[in-house]
Structure 1
C-alpha cells in the first residue's frame, strides 16, 4: 500500500525525533488538518489516510499517523514539517526541531499579590478590582467589497421576494450564475450478493425526483447508478477536477445503504454496491479548498439518504395537540445493514474526543436523512420519507426561504411520520455555511 516514488528508509535522526516525541505528538497533534497536505505530497495514499482515520479518536489517529510516517521514506519528515507549518501547528514544529530533547516544562504563572483596600479610600477608587482574565481581541481585516456579478441575463431569474430581506449583518451567497453549478447524484439500488445488503427498491423514485428538482433549480445534473466503493471515490475525484470558476455552488447527493463510521468531522458512511463503504467526511473532503480550489468560498451541499446506524427509534409520547400522527407505508424498509447479517462492518458508536476544538470546514452543509446511529426509512412504492419530504418542501418554499430554514421544515415533517405505526425518523444537518443560501427560483 506504499505510494509510488517514496523510498522506504527514513533518516535515522528523523525517526529518532519522532519516536522520542511520540507521546507529545499524540497529545498535541491535530491530524485532521494534515491529511490533505500529506496526500498531495505523496507521503500517504488515500487508502492509508482512510485507515488512519478509522483509528477513531484524535489521539488514536495521531498515534497511527506518527507510526506510519516512520515508514514513508526520507522525504516524509520534511513534508510533515511543511504540513505542520501550513496548518499553523508551529508549536509542534518547534517541538520536533528540538530533536529528541524533552519538552521544557511551562512555569506556573506569577499571580499578583492582592492587598487589602484601605479603610479610608479616595472617592475615585473602585470598591473592587476586576482581575478576571480577558479574552484576546482579534483584529479582523477590513471587509472587502463584493466582486461584480458576471451574470448579465437577469431576466431569466425571478426577482427576490420581499420576504427574503434580512439584516445587513447576514449576507447571502452569490447564486446568479447560469447554470448555477453541478449536481452529482449517486443512486445505489442493486447490491452484489457478497455485500450482504438488500436491494433498495424505491430508490429510483427518489433519484428521479431529485434529478427533476435540481434541474429546475438550474443545476447541471449527472446521475450515476450502482457504483462500487472505488467508483464512488472516482466520481467524486472527477467532480473535484472540474473547473467550477464560472459556477456558484456544487451539490452531491448519495442514495445508498449506510452505517456508522469513525470520524473527526462528519459522521456516517455510505456503502458501494460491492459492500465496502466511504466515510461521509471523505466524501466532503474531495470538494474542499485543497482538492478543489475553484470551489473555495462557495457553498458545497451534501444530501445523504442512508442509515446512520442500525438503531430503530420508537419515539416518545407528546401532546396530541402538538402533532398529528402520520403513518408510513406498509412497504417501509431501512437503509441499514440487514438485522440478520453476519457482517461486522457496523461499528460501535464513535468515541467522543475530549479535545475542546476541532477545525471545521467552511461553506459546507451536510444534510442527513436520519440522526447518526439510527436507521432511515424508505417506502418501496413511493421512495424514502426524507427525499419525498425534501422535494415537497423545496417545491413549495424555494422562492421565499433559505436552505437551512427549509431543512428545519423537512425535520419537522419527517419527525411526524411513523413506520409500521411504531418507528420514527429524525433528519438533521451539519451546517458550516457562513452566509444564507437561497436556491435560484426560475420561472415556470
Structure 2
C-alpha cells in the first residue's frame, strides 16, 4: 500500500474501529483479491466487531497498492458511505464507481501530490467535524510518523521510589513495585532496553538522568523516562510538578526533561523523548462533578487507595537556586518531548496498594491492547478517559493529562 494511504488509515483508525462493519466487507475483499480466505478467517477470529475492524484495517496496510481503492469500493457497495467519504476526502484523486457483478475493477494507483509551500491545516480526529475548508482550497494531511524501527528501539529508565527515609516524613508507597514490574515488562515488549533504579535520593536521581543523557543514542529512535514516586506542585516555566527522592528532596519535572534536550544529549536531537510521571501534582482532591445518567459508568477504587500527594509548594523558594537557574537557562524549545502526568497539576494521584496506581494499570492495559494499531497520543487519550471513570472511596476522581511537544505521530514497535 502507498505510504500516503497507510497514513490515512492510521489517522482515521479511531473512526474505522468504532463504526466499521467488517463482516459486510469480507465477501467483497475476498472477491477482489485483497484477502485470501485464510486471512479472512484470521480476522474473524480476532474477537469482537471492534477487534475484527482493528485487525482488518491493520492487515490492509500490507495488501499492495490496490488495497486502499478496493476498501473504498467495498465501503460504497455495502452502504458505509460515511466512512468511504471520510477516507475519500483525504485522497481525493481516488475515483470510486460501482462495479459490475463478479467484475474486478482495476483502479489506478494514487501517487502523493508534491509538497507545496502553502499553509496546511493539520488533521486530527477530534477536529474532523469542526474544521472548515477555505473556499477553493483542499485540506492536506501532512502529519508524518517518527522513525521507530531501530532494534533496540531505545533506552527506558524507570526510577521506582518505594521506601522513604524516616527524616523525609514521606510514607512508603505500597503497590509501586507492581507498577514498576508492569512497565518493565511492557517496555521490554516494545523493544526497549529497560533499566530499573529503586529508592533513589535526589542526588542519585540526577546522577541516573545524567548517565542516561551521556549514553550514545545515535543508533536508537526514542528514549523513555518513567518516574514512580511522591510528588508535589512547584513553580515552573514549562513543565509543572516535581518528583521526590527518598531523602525528601525533590527534582522538578522541567529539570528531568532538561537532561535529554538537544544541548545535553545531541544524539537524541529530533527523536522523541517520552516522560511518564506517576506522582501527585499537588494536594487537592478532585470530587468531580455531576454528569447525565448515560455518561455514568461503573468505577473502581476502595479502601486501599492511597495518594502520592505532598503539600503544595507554590513559592519560588521551593526550588533550590541551582535547579531553577539550570532549568530556565538551558532548556530550549522542548520539541520532540512528551510528558504524561498521572494527574492534573495541583491534584493528587491515586494508588491501590494491591493492584498499583490507576494510571499505570490503565496505561499498561492500553499499550497492550492498542500499541499495534494506534499512535501514542491517541492511546494517552484512551488512558485519560478510562482513569477519569474511576472513583476513590466512592468520592474522589483523577484526571491524567500530557504536555505534548511531539512533531509527528509515534507508533511503538510490536510483535503483531
Q: TM-score range by the shorter chain?
A: 0.5 to 0.7
1:441 aligns with 2:414: yes
Query: How far is 1:359 from its partner?
Result: 6.3
- In structure 1, the partner of 2:8 is none
Q: Following the alignment from structure 1 to structure 2, what is the Cα–Cα distance between the partners of residues 216 and 426?
A: 27
1:176 aligns with 2:149: yes
- In structure 2, the partner of 1:108 is none
Would you say the 8 A contact 1:349–1:373 is kept in 2? no
Would you say the 8 A contact 1:327–1:419 is kept in 2? yes
- In structure 1, the partner of 2:314 is 348
Instruction: Give the structure with the higher percent helix.
Output: 2
Q: Following the alignment from structure 2 to structure 1, what is the Cα–Cα distance between the partners of residues 156 and 414?
A: 16
1:306 aligns with 2:279: yes
Q: Following the alignment from structure 2 to structure 1, what is the Cα–Cα distance between the partners of residues 281 and 169?
A: 17
- In structure 1, the partner of 2:123 is none
- In structure 2, the partner of 1:149 is none
Gap change, CA 1:163 and 1:189, over 3 Å in 2:
farther
Give the counterpart of 1:289 among 253, 259, 262: 262
Partner SS for 1:236: helix
| TM-score w.r.t. length of structure 1 | 0.59
Would you say the 8 A contact 2:221–2:271 is kept in 1? yes
Query: How far is 1:163 from its partner?
Result: 7.3
- In structure 1, the partner of 2:384 is 411
Structure 1 consecutive aligned stretches of length 4 or more whose deviation exceeds 6 Å = 163-167
Would you say the 8 A contact 2:210–2:259 is kept in 1? yes
Considering only CA atoms, is the larger Rg found in Structure 1 or Structure 2? Answer: 1
Partner SS for 1:186: strand
- In structure 1, the partner of 2:231 is 258
For each residue in 1:400-435, what CA deviation from the matched residue of structure 2 results, as whole angstroms up to 9, or x when unmatched? 100000000000000000000000000000000000
Query: How far is 1:347 from its partner?
Result: 1.3
Query: How far is 1:323 from its partner?
Result: 2.5
Query: How far is 1:348 from its partner?
Result: 2.8
- In structure 2, the partner of 1:432 is 405
- Number of residues paired by the alignment? 273
For each residue in 1:152-202, what CA deviation from the matched residue of structure 2 results, as whole angstroms up to 9, or x when unmatched? xxxxxx996547998751100000000000000000000001111000000
Alignment of 1:62-211 (within 5 A): 161-162=59-60, 168-211=141-184
Would you say the 8 A contact 1:260–1:349 is kept in 2? no
Unaligned runs of 5+ in 2: 1-54, 63-67, 69-89, 91-139, 317-330
| TM-score w.r.t. length of structure 2 | 0.63
Give the counterpart of 1:333 among 284, 306, 316: 306
Partner SS for 2:351: strand
Partner SS for 1:418: coil
Would you say the 8 A contact 2:297–2:389 is kept in 1? yes
Would you say the 8 A contact 1:192–1:274 is kept in 2? yes
Q: Following the alignment from structure 1 to structure 2, what is the Cα–Cα distance between the partners of residues 196 and 269?
A: 17
Partner SS for 1:440: coil
Q: Following the alignment from structure 1 to structure 2, what is the Cα–Cα distance between the partners of residues 163 and 331?
A: 45
Q: Following the alignment from structure 1 to structure 2, what is the Cα–Cα distance between the partners of residues 161 and 193?
A: 55
Query: How far is 1:349 from its partner?
Result: 7.7
Q: Following the alignment from structure 1 to structure 2, what is the Cα–Cα distance between the partners of residues 246 and 413?
A: 35
Q: Following the alignment from structure 1 to structure 2, what is the Cα–Cα distance between the partners of residues 389 and 369?
A: 10
Q: Following the alignment from structure 1 to structure 2, what is the Cα–Cα distance between the partners of residues 295 and 401?
A: 23
Q: CA RMSD in A?
A: 2.2
Q: Following the alignment from structure 1 to structure 2, what is the Cα–Cα distance between the partners of residues 182 and 160?
A: 27
1:268 aligns with 2:241: yes
Give the counterpart of 2:210 among 224, 237, 240: 237
Unaligned runs of 5+ in 1: 1-157, 340-345, 351-357
Would you say the 8 A contact 1:187–1:207 is kept in 2? yes
Q: Following the alignment from structure 2 to structure 1, what is the Cα–Cα distance between the partners of residues 402 and 263?
A: 23
- In structure 2, the partner of 1:11 is none
